[in-house]
Copies of this chain bind each other. A is one copy, B any other.
Amino acid sequence: MHPSRSAPTDWIVQKIADPPGGLDTTTTHQHETFAEGLVLDCGTVLRPLDVAYRTYGRLNDVRSNAILLCHALTGDQYAAETHPVTGKPGWWDTLVGPGKPIDTDRFFVICANVLGGCMGSTGPRSEMTDAEGHPQGRPWGTLFPAVTIRDMVRAQAMLVERLGITKLFAVIGGSMGGMQVLAWAALYPERVFSAIPIATAAWHSAQNIAFNEIGRQAINADPEFHGGEYWRHGTIPARGLAVARMTAHITYLSEEALTRKFGRRLRTGPMLTFDNDLFEVESYLQHQGSTFVQRFDANSYLTITRAMDFFDIAAEHEGALGAAFRASPVRFCVISFTSDWLFPTAMSRELVRALNAAAANVSFVEITSDKGHDAFLLDEPVLFRTVSGFLKGAAERWR
């Protein structure tokens, strides 16, 4: 069907403001501090370690109803409540809440900001310390060490222990959140009863590394980046970060979703001009880019995209993915979406094959959706039914 004939969108064209003055730094975030710090895979010690987090629901007396949610690249701990900076609903508000598939009347849900993030967990915006924990009077900035998905998971494990939880009922996440789910199962098989990795992979592909690199290059190319020392100059690399976000955003959608949402519809009158927001799809992307810079730190973006690129569970076991999960007691529910071309179903199938070969307990659901990678964040009834059904089944087997 020609896109000009597609149904009108309910998306409202919004005026794109000039790049905003800077990242929100006024919001304080609930967190736990670990004075002993964390030794990273790269050898650097982060001391102290802060882990910012939110919880929803109530931990039961036997501490058996805890679910950990792991967020994606640009997510954060505000999974199921109004976001304190953007004022928008939490990123998994559709899935998590009273009576929802991840039912907070029943489960105690934890979501932590990842290590390296910019919403309260230790990251490039935190004050730099030496190995003994002495503050250095400056933010880490570009000197923040390289972190891995495993490092993120180790920090979450410290939080979970601090909260008095010996074993999580479930660990759930999509995209980079799914990578953390897999790392949890590989690192702490005795501390995870069930795991739901969604729209993810056991290693980051060459194409995904390439798309991340576009974003990093765009940030590096922005003169306001100042080699990562923008905090010294009172600037933020808003334009570079916006280009990074725009690029990533395209990869989250499917061709079908973009066509349905925008087609070739024009925003404004005359066709043959050079206006930068001629087509609705452009205006939408620019809006995505410019709102993102208000809530995200460029050095965090560099740190976290690199953690994704490093991710390769098979490589940690001499290329044998199954070895990471040999005789794992964890119950897996692997979920993918047909139109996801960033983490295509083939990657989930490869994971499922390895889990099967490792004699792990695994079910696999490929959900038909034309919404692309983003489907895991959207109103997808089959996803909701799959998650609630799997959790229900798992609960029946949970001592």
Contact = CB atoms under 8 A, between A and B. Distances in A.
Interface of A: 2-5, 41-42, 142, 145-146, 148, 203-207, 209-211, 213-214, 216-218, 220-223, 239-240, 242-243, 246-247, 250, 253, 255, 258-259, 261-264, 271-274, 276, 278-279, 281-282, 285-286, 289, 302, 306, 309-310, 312, 314-315, 319, 321, 341, 344
A216 B276 contact: yes
A241 to B, nearest CB: 10
A214 B250 contact: yes
Nearest to A148: B272
Interface of A is mostly: helix
A272 to B, nearest CB: 4
A209 B284 CA distance: 12
Contacts of A306: 274
Contact of A319 (B5, B204, B210, B216): B5
A321 B5 CA distance: 12
Given A210-B258, A217-B246, A272 B42 contact: yes
A258 B146 contact: no
A285 B210 contact: yes
A292 to B, nearest CB: 13
A209 to B, nearest CB: 5
B239 A221 contact: yes
A289 B209 contact: no
Contacts of A262: 206
B205 A3 contact: yes
Given A271-B310, A272-B310, A282-B213, A3 B203 contact: yes
A148 B204 CA distance: 39
Contacts of A142: 274
A207 B259 contact: yes
A217 B286 contact: yes
B221 A281 contact: no
Nearest to A278: B309
A282 B209 contact: yes
A117 B255 CA distance: 28
Contacts of A319: 2, 4-5
B258 A205 contact: yes
A256 B319 CA distance: 18
A41 B270 CA distance: 12
A246 B214 contact: yes
Nearest to A253: B207
A65 B91 CA distance: 62
24 contacts: A2-B203, A2-B315, A3-B205, A3-B206, A4-B314, A142-B274, A146-B272, A146-B274, A205-B255, A205-B259, A207-B250, A209-B281, A210-B250, A210-B281, A210-B285, A211-B250, A213-B276, A214-B214, A214-B250, A214-B285, A218-B218, A221-B240, A223-B223, A274-B306
